[in-house]
Amino acid sequence: MGSSSDTGALLLQRQLQELNRHPIEGFSAGLVDDSDIFKWEVMIIGPPDTLYEGGFFKAHLIFPREYPHRPPKMTFISEIWHPNVHHNGDVCISILHEPGEDKYGYEKASERWLPVHTVETILLSVISILSDPNDESPANIDAAKEWRENRDAFRKKVQRCVRKSQEAE
């Protein structure tokens, strides 16, 4: 039996081939560098009919050697203003949290990382929070407060990020 990093590498290789063969609307994904299957660069296209529409948001997905038993870390490289994204770009959503029970009791184990998750399910979850932020347990308190209390200011900041992301293209 090979080591767990072999398993992870094989799974990631398979997902990469699958995504290349059957691209999914809303994002594109590839490797940062062809020699490292554990480091992905993804481009999320701002979903239509959301404040993020028209944006091209670049992010990195860094998989641990223990993948699929542990989740990757996702970090936006593009500037993005969102309640579930830390100021430094780290994405904070349940399915990227370590598996098992939440010691704070916010999340059920079933909402957290499970080995069945793939690049596709992760990115679809991220796209869905762009449409519908979860301000219950925000990563970016300022963005969450603005989302709740001052939608106009929130919208302006997001539009600035969208414009910046278009220039970076």
Alpha-helix runs per DSSP H in the chain: 4-21, 119-131, 141-149, 151-168
Q: Residue 1's pLDDT is what? A: 45
Taking the mean position of all CA atoms in its chain, how far away is CA 34?
A: 21
**92 in catalytic set:** yes
Higher pLDDT, 128 or 3: 128
Active site residue: 29, 92, 139, 161, which one?
92
Q: Which of 3-7, 98-102, 128-132 has the lowest mean pLDDT?
A: 3-7
Q: Are 68 and 9 in contact (CB under 8 A)?
A: no
* pLDDT tens per residue across span 30-87: 999 999 999 999 999 999 999 999 999 999 999 999 999 999 999 999 999 999 999 9
pTM of the model: 0.92
Domain ranges in the chain are 4-126+136-167
* Fold exhibited by the domain 4-126+136-167: Ubiquitin Conjugating Enzyme (3.10.110)
Peptide bond into 64 cis (omega under 30): no
Instruction: Report the run of H or E that residue 74 belongs to, with start and end.
Output: strand 73-76
The strands making up 27-31's β-sheet, listed across from edge to edge, are: 27-31, 39-45, 56-62, 73-76
